[in-house]
Amino acid sequence: MARPDRRVNLAVARVIPPVLLGIVAYACYVVTKPLCIDYLIHPLPKYSHNPRVGAGAAIIVVYYVLLIPVLATYLRLLYNVVWNPGFLPRSSLAQGKKDTDPSSHHRHSGRHRRKRSRRRSHTHHVEKSDGQQDGKADVDVERGPDYHAAGAAFPLDSAGLESFYTKDVFVCQPDGRPLYCSTCCQYKTDRAHHCREVDRCVRKMDHFCPWVGGVVSETSLKFFIQFVFYTTIFCAFALIVCAIFTAELKREMGTANVHWAVGIGLSGLFGLFTFGMTLSSVQLAMYNVTTIENLNRRSVVWTLAIRVPQHLLAKLTPNSQWAPTFRTITYPLPPMPPNFEAMTGTGHQQQVPPPGEQHVFAILQTLPGENPFDLGSPLKNLQQVMGYSLLDWILPLKHSPCADHSNMESAFAMGPVVSRLKQEAGLEARLDETSTAEQPPSHKRKRRHFIDFALSGLSFILARHNTIIIAHSNPTVYGA
């Protein structure tokens, strides 16, 4: 059942964008010809009123000025959804699994199916014979990446190290390995999710939206928010204009223009829809969660692998007096068995790290409902999606800052929750008592200056109303 539904969703996602562009073209016709030209600028004989050239020209100018950002953001959004969707590379194991899936053969003709069956049975016979000859049991596919944890999703850097454990923090399973996708047969990057409609893992997937032709992810969420915001304003203007002149025509002639009525319906429908999507998308961006992550935002427990600093590695010994309260995992993992490549067909070559190159991580968990990606400020969270300047918020040009994973600390910016976990585990020094004891005077001075400023403003306002005068030099309240 899932495969036909997937094909239907993909087909709908390909059809809807041209339909939306057609609706926009029809709306342009309604506002330009029947309303502005035939009713305001050059009224038809059936309309018994004088021309209103200024009103008609102003409506046309404002309408098309509002249309420009709608089309610009939508085309930018479509480009990223189609050509830069943020898919993780597919593992070779997943492709082999797909080829051996019996349900996939129903899409081919009988002749092709027989040829594929003969090839598959021959290959299976050879692999089985080799396995019996070597005396080995079947390979655990999910355990395969234990020896090459990156797979296709985590490329090797110039030093031959897998990129995920060169970061200081990454999302992991309880045993310290990155999250695993059993469908794609590989590990996933932070905040990646598997989309069943496209059958791929997507980086920071937000949702599958047929209205924009596919998956909204970290590469397109910013443009999606811009599009629904500009469309809300555009539809609101079209709705107001059509409603005003429809009411006027109804009052003067007792009739209504069919095109105007359709324009009211379309602008009202899409205006309400995009307004709701704007509020929802901005709210989630201010929480720094995706639509998928928001489903269990209040109860989810994140498991993080946090790097143990070099100066603490010597304490992670049985003879040390420092007793850590967390589990650890060390990368790179043990070398791959010599016959692992032949049995799995992955073709990966294990890179030998430089001597002494070890990455030890503490496995820590957040409290239920805590978000390690929450930066502690709605504005900072929103900037991770929209950008740091006003032009980034307005223009659909640059990608979101969260799509840049070059930071060596983590793939995504981490917030106060991670700092607290480090301090509780002893991986990060807390503020000592002397420093905290020295902070109150400065805070008191700032607080006193703020109070003085507030009192000055309050005294000015009250003095203008001749009620109370507050003197800073003498804290005595006088009646007016």
Q: pLDDT tens-digit profile of 338-347?
A: 554 444 444 4
**Average pLDDT along the chain:** 79
pLDDT score for 230:
98
Asked if the model's pLDDT at residue 414 lies above 50, the reply is yes
DSSP result, 17-80: HHHHHHHHHHHHHHIIIIIIIIIIIS--TTS-S---HHHHHHHHHHHHHHHHHHHHHHHHHHHH
Query: Quick one: pLDDT band at residue 10, thresholds 50, 70, 90?
Result: confident
Asked if the model's pLDDT at residue 376 lies above 70, the reply is yes
Asked if the model's pLDDT at residue 473 lies above 50, the reply is no
Q: Are 340 and 139 in contact (CB under 8 A)?
A: yes
| Category of 426 on φ-ψ map: left (φ > 0), alpha (ψ -120 to 50) or beta | left
Closest CA to 172 of 143, 195, 149, 156: 149
Q: Are 215 and 299 in contact (CB under 8 A)?
A: no
Query: Quick one: pLDDT band at residue 154, thresholds 50, 70, 90?
Result: low
Tokens of 296: 């269990």
Mean pLDDT of 48-77: 96
pLDDT higher for 199 or 101? 199
pLDDT score for 57:
97
Interacting residues of 164 by C-beta distance below 8 A, sequence separation 6+: 149, 150, 154, 170, 178, 187, 189
Task: Determine which helix (DSSP H) or strand (DSSP E) holds 361, and give its type and residue range.
Answer: strand 359-365
- β pairing state of 359-365 and 303-307: antiparallel
pLDDT score for 159:
45
Q: Are 299 and 291 in contact (CB under 8 A)?
A: no
Q: Are 395 and 355 in contact (CB under 8 A)?
A: no
Query: Quick one: pLDDT band at residue 95, thresholds 50, 70, 90?
Result: low
- 3-state class (DSSP) for residue 300: coil
Asked if the model's pLDDT at residue 114 lies above 80, the reply is no
Query: Quick one: pLDDT band at residue 163, thresholds 50, 70, 90?
Result: confident
Torsion of CA 56, 58, 64, 68, to 10 degrees: 180
Interacting residues of 169 by C-beta distance below 8 A, sequence separation 6+: 304, 305, 306, 307, 372, 409, 410, 414, 418
Query: Quick one: pLDDT band at residue 286, thresholds 50, 70, 90?
Result: very high
pLDDT tens figures, 426-450? 998 765 543 444 455 544 444 545 4
DSSP character at residue 189: -
Task: Determine which helix (DSSP H) or strand (DSSP E) holds 98, and give its type and residue range.
Answer: helix 92-99
Interacting residues of 80 by C-beta distance below 8 A, sequence separation 6+: 219, 220, 223
pLDDT tens figures, 209-242? 999 999 999 999 999 999 999 999 999 999 999 9
pLDDT score for 338:
54
| Category of 432 on φ-ψ map: left (φ > 0), alpha (ψ -120 to 50) or beta | beta
Mean pLDDT of 412-420: 96
pLDDT score for 128:
40
